[in-house]
Structure 1
Amino acid sequence: MTLWTAEEAAAATGGVAIGDWHVNGISIDTRSIAKGDLFVALKAARDGHDFVAQALEKGAGAALVSRRPEGVSEDAPLLLVEDVQTGLEALGRAGRARTDARVIAVTGSVGKTSTKEMLARMLSDQGRTHAAVASYNNHWGVPLTLARMPRDTEFAVIEIGMNHPGEISPLAKQARPHVAMVTTVAPVHLEAFDGIEGIAAEKAAIMDGLEPGGVAVLNADIAEAPILQAVAGRAAQDVQWFGTGQGPIAPSYRLVATTLRGDETEAEVTLPGGQGHRLQIQSLGAHFAMNALGALACLAALDLDLTKAVQSLSLWSPVTGRGARETVSLGAGQGEILLLDDSYNANPTSVAAALAVLAATPCEGRRIAYLGDMKELGPQEAALHAALADLPAMADLDAVHCIGPLMGALHAALPADKRGGHYASSADVLADLPGQIGAGDVVLAKGSLSMALAKVVDGIRELGHGEATS
């Protein structure tokens, strides 16, 4: 199916189309570009214009550029605009405007991506659904997701993130959601804010983009709920709260009980009117149950079938780097390791949740954690790292290996019987892995993306033959 014709893309961006082309997708990376994609020459670490010729050689249908790149013929299929980022944003707005899709936008300090994936899984069984891939939630990820939206989309899920004040509102206004969800507010990116209240205000800005009659779905358990409530009062026609009932606002969607059993999470929830449901999630974690409850509230705001949604939810599992579980076989008769791959990101809240999952996972051997630095925490960074030693889950762990200078604070605070190695980088861990992990162990890898805990994950896989289990 054609996504954009040259004429449509030129009209959307105010650019000039060279050639009569059409494209079936959009890409920003020549390594994964597909034949017939529109290549967007964004400027990041490298200028995307340097890769246009390569993209066209690989079969790109056209390229979105601000100038004709060197080595590209005069008759090459191009869309010339004044600025590529601005052109992508215009294409995204046009993609959003031409569809009748009902849109859910999700933000939050923790759980954005997993909640987005839950929503996409549930919605896909109720209509044609489009969602952001990976964590495409920033200034280029949101417009890229919108520009990729097929015109016959019925439901869309847009993930919106931030690193600094003022980033969420313009992205929300591009997405124009019918439902806006805030998963939670936590001390993440503190170095860019005066305090957690500023983070809450920034997360609340997702409601700036709500369509008329829009619904806000908000976490009732967090101390900052009144900040979200104040914004919702002016921006949303309706507000639905989800939580355990232990916070400052009484939730209409209530998490009654959560049970971690085997490699699954079961949750009892009640919805407005007293209707009850039992949720089954193919991964351990009370945080998954909470986010699933908020996701159900989003579907209810769109008047969708919640019974069917609960059935769909039971088929969802986390993606790689976001809590995915793998069995690593050590060879015939030598046993297995259970690997918890949560290596994509880390902050105090998500690390606490991941350690709770590790502590609750059935284990024949030892429970071992590899933890990398949590970045962007500001002046409190050392104290926040050291405080992890006081988490209740630590009592059930056998060894905690620390990676990075900031994790030195945790290493020093750990009891001697749980203190593993302290390494400068993930690469430094690899040589020691065979002596640290054995059959029957459950191993967690968790850290900020820049700490490259994926190297530790790969090193553990190389101890045997990894088999994804969920």
Structure 2
Amino acid sequence: MTLWTAADAATATGGRATTGWSATGVSIDTRTLKPGDLFVALEAARDGHDFVAQALEKGAAAAMVSRIPEGLAEDAPLLLVDEVLPALERLGIAGRARTRARVAAITGSVGKTSTKEMLRAALEGQGRVHAAEASYNNHWGVPLTLARMPADTDFAVIEIGMNHPGEIAPLARMARPHVAMITTVAAVHLEAFENVEGIAREKAAIFEGLEPGGCAVVNGDLPTSPILRAAARAAGARIIGFGNGVSNHHRLKEAHVRDGVTVGRARLWRTEVSLKVATEGRHFMVNALGVIAVAQALGADRARAICNLSAWAPPAGRGTRETVVLDPARDGETLELIDDAFNANPTSLSAALAVLAAAQTRDGVGRVHRGRRIAILGDMLELGPREREMHAEMAADPSMAALRTVHCVGPRMRALHEALPDAQRGRWVEKVEELIPETARLVDSGDVVLVKGSKGSHVSRLVDAIRKLGQRTLSGDKEA
């Protein structure tokens, strides 16, 4: 199905098409480009113009460029624009303008991507759903998501993130959501903000993009919730609160974490409901309440959304739980791996430690007689001047008492390593590469192992190393 014709793309961007062409998708990366895509030659870490020839060889319908790269054929299909990123923004704005889709935008210090995927799942089967890939939530990710949106989309889910002040409002105005949700506000990106209140005000800027009569779905349990509510009221939005507190419209009454699932009861306005998500963690259940509110505000069926959520599990790197078979010839020679290696801050780390603390180990199946709860933790980045103290303070997290060993990776995590009791203190290394050769000695059958850290800590490489110890099986493949 055609997504953009040369004429439509030229009109949207103010550019000039060198030939007639039609594109079925939009890509910024030749590694994932599909035949028929419009290749957008962004100038970021590497200049996309250097890859235009490769993109066309791989079947790109055309390339959006601000200059003609050397060596191209005279009849190469191009869309010539003044600057590529502003042109992509204009293409995204046009993509949003031509659809009658109901649009949701999600932001928050923790849980944006998993909540976006949760909402995608909740809306499944209720119309054509278009959602951001991976964590495409920044100055190029949002317009790219909008530019990829088919005109006949029924529901769109846009993730919006930030690193510095002033980033969210322009992206929200570009997305023009009917519903905007804030998962939480936490001590993240403190290098760029004076305090958490500043982060809350930036997150609340998402409401500036709401369509008239829009809805704001707000975590009502936060110290900064009044800031979020005030911004929503200023935007003229209808407000729905979710969380644990009795003042929330959607309130979690109880949650039970079991092997591979979380089940519980909640009150949605005046209706008592049972809930389930196919992963472990009370925090996922709380965000599910917000997702149900968003889905209903978008016009979707609430009951179907609740049923769809019962099969939802987070994407890889964001709390996925899996079984690693260490020896297929011996029954029980497995360990449980919790892959949460994509992002980390004190709030999300505390939630992940709670999941690990509740996990069931198995005794008598490995070299070590008793199964262990083991955490391998990488640096939490962008925490500002108190980063060392914030790492050390995690030693006092209530879930730490249930852990046998904590291994630490990175210069910042040294503060946590030094704050841990001697009996709990595992290895500390400055770089993850130093720990990878020791993987087989760090873990054993019967263990439950959490790997978590900011993406820049590269502890995802340890996840891969643990998987390579055996044969990976998703825990969701077992009966729940």
Q: If the TM-score is normalised by the length of the shorter chain, which range does it land in?
A: over 0.9
Residues 1:339 and 2:337 aligned together: yes
SS at the partner of 2:53? helix
Residues 1:436 and 2:439 aligned together: no
Residues 1:322 and 2:315 aligned together: no
Show the counterpart of 2:286: 290
Cα RMSD (Å): 0.9
SS at the partner of 2:299? coil
Residues 1:386 and 2:369 aligned together: no
SS at the partner of 1:190? coil
Q: Percent identity?
A: 59
Displacement after TM superposition at 1:467 (Å): 1.6
CA contact (8 A) 1:402 1:408 kept: yes
Greater than 3 Å deviation, 4+ residue runs: none
Show the counterpart of 2:101: 101
* Mapped partners of 2:348, 2:189: distance in 1: 13
Show the counterpart of 2:264: 267
Residues 305-347 of structure 1: CA deviation (Å, up to 9, x unaligned):
1111110001111111011111111121060011100000111
Displacement after TM superposition at 1:237 (Å): 3.0
396-405 or 232-241: bigger deviation: 232-241
Unaligned 5+ segments in structure 1 are none
What amino acid is the match of 2:69?
P
Displacement after TM superposition at 1:267 (Å): 2.1
Displacement after TM superposition at 1:236 (Å): 3.2
SS at the partner of 1:133? coil
Displacement after TM superposition at 1:228 (Å): 0.7
Displacement after TM superposition at 1:469 (Å): 2.5
* Mapped partners of 2:236, 2:118: distance in 1: 23
Residues 1:466 and 2:464 aligned together: no
Q: How many residue pairs get matched?
A: 466
Show the counterpart of 1:362: 360
Residues 1:168 and 2:174 aligned together: no
Residues 1:447 and 2:450 aligned together: no
Show the counterpart of 1:412: 418
Unaligned 5+ segments in structure 2 are 363-370
Residues 34-88 of structure 1: CA deviation (Å, up to 9, x unaligned):
0010111011111000000000001111001101012212210000100000000
Show the counterpart of 2:308: 312
Residues 402-456 of structure 1: CA deviation (Å, up to 9, x unaligned):
0000000000000111100001111111111111111111111100101111110
* Mapped partners of 1:241, 1:68: distance in 2: 51
Give the TM-score taking structure 1 as reference length: 0.98
Show the counterpart of 2:20: 20
* Mapped partners of 2:38, 2:417: distance in 1: 48
What amino acid is the match of 1:342?
D
SS at the partner of 1:308? helix
Q: How does 1:118-133 map to 2 (within 5 A)?
A: 118-133=118-133
SS at the partner of 1:340? strand
Residues 115-142 of structure 1: CA deviation (Å, up to 9, x unaligned):
1001001112211000001000000000
SS at the partner of 1:307? helix
Displacement after TM superposition at 1:29 (Å): 0.6
* Mapped partners of 1:366, 1:236: distance in 2: 51
What amino acid is the match of 2:44?
A
* Mapped partners of 2:198, 2:100: distance in 1: 34
* Mapped partners of 2:280, 2:414: distance in 1: 28
Show the counterpart of 2:57: 57
SS at the partner of 2:400? helix
What amino acid is the match of 2:412?
L
Residues 1:213 and 2:213 aligned together: yes
What amino acid is the match of 1:255?
L
Show the counterpart of 2:179: 179
Residues 148-183 of structure 1: CA deviation (Å, up to 9, x unaligned):
001100000000000000000000000000000000
Select 2:349's aligned residue among 351, 358, 367: 351
Residues 326-370 of structure 1: CA deviation (Å, up to 9, x unaligned):
111112106001110000011110011111111111111111111
SS at the partner of 2:296? helix
What amino acid is the match of 1:398?
R
Give the TM-score taking structure 2 as reference length: 0.96
Displacement after TM superposition at 1:304 (Å): 2.2
Residues 1:398 and 2:395 aligned together: no
Displacement after TM superposition at 1:260 (Å): 0.7
Residues 214-246 of structure 1: CA deviation (Å, up to 9, x unaligned):
000001000001111111111133111111116
What amino acid is the match of 1:453?
V
* Mapped partners of 1:347, 1:72: distance in 2: 46
Show the counterpart of 1:426: 432
SS at the partner of 2:435? helix
* Mapped partners of 1:263, 1:120: distance in 2: 21
What amino acid is the match of 2:178?
H
38-47 or 160-169: bigger deviation: 38-47
* Mapped partners of 1:235, 1:275: distance in 2: 28
